[in-house]
Structure 1
């Protein structure tokens, strides 16, 4: 009798192990990269995406998350997606104006009134049209997310007007539009990959930088920057992107599930970025940063007038008018 029980136990154990092995064999693993920490807005969105994919596909797919640029910077991730070496990524706006030039229009300083205005643009007809433009580079854009409104920090002085920026050295993303905008204000602006930014600020290579509050807080820039100016000069969008190879490997039902998961991820990233605009500023102030809560926006726009005219000629006055007219 005891021998039969032992045999039965072995059979049950083998059967359970076989069932698990079968489930794992049917589960497809996809790699998902993003640049910032797990506590960032992109991290929160990525976590939601992974959970939603598992739920909506009945466990058919498992999304492995790679934060902190562990699979490369954003330019590298975009190229890895194009080549099919990476499955998914949550990438900010920073690299795309050099990859798809039309996206440079969104880097024009003070184009958006605020984040609500930007949401209306990206969620509307304009945003849907631009979402399709990723196909030009062999990428499948699933949904818009958010990096946040970009704000200025520096180690030298409070910035309230354009004259306060003159002579400062600042790291700016790899966007020729943002570089041109800051340089026209007298800033010694240079691009630098984000993973190297903290060290560059710490060493004094740059006086300042600009990023959304959630990135500033998650990256602990308050340790190497004294002054924060809530300039909101550029809205930094983000997008959940998939390689064409990975997308075409999905069934129609799974493509729908992934798209819905990406929309949920995008919404979470917006919520986290939005909370950071209030809670994050308070935390940075408490940590010792000096905060300038408002700028002379009209003075900045006046100082940028010649450069903005060049941008208008480059991207089309009607395009800028349509974006600004969205309510």
Structure 2
């Protein structure tokens, strides 16, 4: 679907040009990405005096995240709010953020992404012909399954789990003895319902918005991976903006990214109780040290792949 930058003539007394940008994202309008996208669109309209209108397309109607990233690269889609899932395959350096138990918690992750490391990685999108405006948030990822409570890596052994299309996350879960396989998110609910997979892992905001409690019995608050998101614009749309307009878009994107963090954080605090009331058995904490021990060999491979320096830099951020 070609959804590039287009121009409309507003029906006003003095005809003024209104330029429309189309922005896609994967989840529902009431998700953390939906809230961030709406705030971004509102701020762009307000800050440009109505010169720009951002139309938002939720629920993957313009494609999955891999497809949206490609459409952005080709200039067929103007903007997207995309989670971390597809980017490790596009920009291999991003895989470092998918290492399980790299981040202590969301606050640690925010400090990394808002600091020098995050700004350096924001620029890495340019090598793929994309312009990343600001970081947002999908959330800390947690494990659900239909078979048994999970408190340590031994409890995961033998379970079949859907994991995003990230080689690093696949390697991590396979190190725990999981039969881990990738699957596009839109097919996940049906795959869990049919028993194709015993479990999956996602942020609480995604678990609640997707009603996974209907097809999963057990929730483990593992917080094993921080899933970032980014507001991205195609190079062709970016090149059509003036310097002052670019500054407006960046500020609006930062506001939208912050809103996505707030919604994801609220889901962490409130969503767990909702899932518990819906009948899920909740394991509130895991044996993190045991998980890290199970990852030792795999972590050594990650160190070779990404470099021990960047891993240590990330871990040492306060």
TM-score where L is the length of structure 2: 0.96
- Identify which of 110, 122, 141 aligns with 2:113: 122
- Identify which of 235, 243, 263 aligns with 1:252: 243
Deviations 1:250-290 (A, max 9, x none): 11111011000000000000000001111000101011100
Whether 1:19 and 2:22 are equivalent positions in the alignment is no
Whether 1:35 and 2:26 are equivalent positions in the alignment is yes
The structure having more radius of gyration, on CA atoms, is 1
The secondary structure found in structure 2 opposite 1:19 is coil
Whether 1:309 and 2:300 are equivalent positions in the alignment is yes
The secondary structure found in structure 2 opposite 1:104 is helix
Q: In structure 2, how many angstroms separate the alpha carbons of the residues matched to 1:178 and 1:44?
A: 27
Distance 1:81 1:21, change over 3 A: farther
- Identify which of 278, 281, 289 aligns with 2:280: 289
Q: In structure 1, how many angstroms separate the alpha carbons of the residues matched to 2:11 and 2:168?
A: 57
Q: In structure 2, how many angstroms separate the alpha carbons of the residues matched to 1:176 and 1:149?
A: 18
| RMSD (Å), alpha carbons | 0.9
Whether 1:261 and 2:252 are equivalent positions in the alignment is yes
Q: In structure 2, how many angstroms separate the alpha carbons of the residues matched to 1:19 and 1:241?
A: 31
The secondary structure found in structure 1 opposite 2:142 is strand
Q: In structure 2, how many angstroms separate the alpha carbons of the residues matched to 1:20 and 1:165?
A: 65
Q: In structure 2, how many angstroms separate the alpha carbons of the residues matched to 1:21 and 1:35?
A: 38
Deviations 1:143-183 (A, max 9, x none): 00000000000000000010000000000000000000001
Q: Cα distance, 1:89 vs. partner?
A: 0.3
Note the residue ranges of structure 2 that are not aligned, 5 or more in a row: 1-9
Q: Cα distance, 1:19 vs. partner?
A: 2.4
Q: In structure 1, how many angstroms separate the alpha carbons of the residues matched to 2:12 and 2:104?
A: 56
Q: In structure 2, how many angstroms separate the alpha carbons of the residues matched to 1:185 and 1:162?
A: 5
Q: Cα distance, 1:22 vs. partner?
A: 1.7
Q: Cα distance, 1:184 vs. partner?
A: 1.0
The residue aligned with 2:137 is 146
Whether 1:100 and 2:121 are equivalent positions in the alignment is no
- Identify which of 23, 30, 38 aligns with 1:47: 38
The residue aligned with 1:318 is 309
The residue aligned with 1:87 is 78
- Identify which of 126, 146, 149 aligns with 1:155: 146
Q: In structure 1, how many angstroms separate the alpha carbons of the residues matched to 2:250 and 2:28?
A: 23
Whether 1:206 and 2:197 are equivalent positions in the alignment is yes
List structure 1 segments (4+ residues) > 4 angstroms apart after TM superposition: none
The residue aligned with 1:60 is 51
The residue aligned with 1:7 is none
